[in-house]
Amino acid sequence: MKKRASLKDIAQEAGVSTALVSYVLTNKEEKARVGREMASKIRKIARKLNYQPNYLARSLKSGRTDTIGLIVADISNPFFGQIARIVEDEAKRHNITVIFGSSDENAEKSADLMNVLLNRQVDGLIVIPSEGSEQQILQLSERHVPFVLMDRPFPSIAASSISINNFEASYNAVEHLLHSGRKRIGMIAYQTGLHHIAERRRGFEEALANAGLKTGKRLKLARYNHLREDIRKAIDQLTGGKHPADALFFATNSLAIEGLRYISELGIRVPEQLAVVSFDESEAFDLFHAPVTFIRQPIREMGKAAVQLLLSQIADSGRPPEDIRIDAELVVRRSSAAN
């Protein structure tokens, strides 16, 4: 790369000190009482040399980098991809750059990533935490790093968070299935200690309980690293036996997509034999022969809120943590039609 022009180069050409140039180019001429002529001369030279400030130097001095870090759980999942995009857009509106990383649902990778980002002196972090990362998050808190948890709050940690009302969303979805006449509703969730999934499970169980039904063995768990086999086994169990399930509720889009692949393969008719509802959105849901009923998370709203909350946290480090809980929307389509 060719050497870029620095304040020094401009100063030299204008025959003044770098300080003066700095005052002008950061629009502090008033305060520094720079002469009108000199100011315009400096500006002209700056333009001629195509001066671009060196953010490194500036940040070194100011202690701020105008950069935030975003750690998502898995960037190849469009759900997180969308979040990344919205966070980036919103950040740019505030002249903030985003450095991102994907933890791939792996606590170790997440810790690495966090270190890298903090070493790059980000001003703060937005984190979609993976399982087992409580300690890391706690450390952020102790080191007084401004951060916001997104999508997955940790109730045990006093930290700002943005998420949907998982319990309620789940409850409503199951209630919808009940209203459409389903009696033997199964759920497939991740096997994880993460609170948002626990809440989704709780919503499922409570909705059934309130309808006088018992969950029984209809709640199945799949391991993230054995998604395919676990889901197939779960579906085999749920749809087999004397009392096969007549509805299936998936706790995330990736679970649903893998599940629907198998359901297609088995030739199970949706919604006649089996109603389907899933959390999260996916283009794949539209192309399934019976468009899939899903719980839409207000991603845009969440992303914006996350950035704004983080920025105010950065601006005022004494700010108490804030939990923002947003309602999700059930989008009813053919996969859960009454029969």
Partner DNA sequence: AAAATAAGCTTAAACGTTTAAGTAACCTAG
Partner DNA sequence: CTAGGTTACTTAAACGTTTAAGCTTATTTT
- Which tokens sit at 181? 């006449």
Residue 315, CB-side half-sphere exposure with 13 Å CA sphere: 7
In the list 33, 143, 242, 318, the residue contacting a copy of itself (rule: CB under 8 A) is 143
Interface mask (CB under 8 A) for a copy of itself, residues 234-263, using x and -?
Answer: -----------------------x--xx--
C-alpha–C-alpha distance, residues 103 and 126, integer Å: 13
Residue type (1 letter), 230: D
Q: Indicate whether 61 belongs to the interface with DNA (CB under 7 A).
A: yes
Q: How far is the CB of 144 from a copy of itself (least distance, A)?
A: 5
In the list 284, 326, 330, 337, the residue contacting a copy of itself (rule: CB under 8 A) is 284
Q: Indicate whether 16 belongs to the interface with DNA (CB under 7 A).
A: yes
Stretch that binds a copy of itself, among 94-102, 160-168, 176-184, 186-194 (CB under 8 A): 94-102
- Which tokens sit at 316? 């005022």
Nearer to a copy of itself, 102 or 161 (CB): 102
- Helices 107-119 and 134-142 meet at what angle, rounded to 10? 20
Count of chain residues binding DNA (CB under 7 A): 32
- Which tokens sit at 45? 């030279």
**Which partner in DNA, a copy of itself, none is near 244 (CB below 5 to 8 A by kind)?**
none
State how far Cα 59 lies from the chain centre. Answer: 27
In the list 10, 77, 162, 255, the residue contacting a copy of itself (rule: CB under 8 A) is 77
Q: Which residues contact 7 (CB under 8 A, 6 or more apart)?
A: 18, 21, 22, 25, 51
**Which partner in a copy of itself, DNA, none is near 135 (CB below 5 to 8 A by kind)?**
none
Stretch that binds DNA, among 1-9, 84-92, 144-152, 235-243 (CB under 7 A): 1-9
C-alpha–C-alpha distance, residues 278 and 250, integer Å: 5
**Which partner in a copy of itself, DNA, none is near 81 (CB below 5 to 8 A by kind)?**
a copy of itself
**Which partner in a copy of itself, DNA, none is near 34 (CB below 5 to 8 A by kind)?**
DNA
C-alpha–C-alpha distance, residues 234 and 221, integer Å: 8
Q: Indicate whether 19 belongs to the interface with DNA (CB under 7 A).
A: yes
Diameter of the chain measured on Cα atoms: 91
C-alpha–C-alpha distance, residues 152 and 197, integer Å: 9
Please list every residue from 62 through 91 that binds DNA, using CB under 7 A: 62
Q: Indicate whether 320 belongs to the interface with a copy of itself (CB under 8 A).
A: no
C-alpha–C-alpha distance, residues 188 and 169, integer Å: 15
- Smallest CA-to-CA distance from 99 within 87, 109, 111, 108 is with 87
**Which partner in a copy of itself, DNA, none is near 102 (CB below 5 to 8 A by kind)?**
a copy of itself
**Which residues bind to DNA, rule: CB under 7 A?**
3-4, 6-8, 15-20, 22-23, 25-26, 28, 32-38, 51-54, 57-58, 60-62
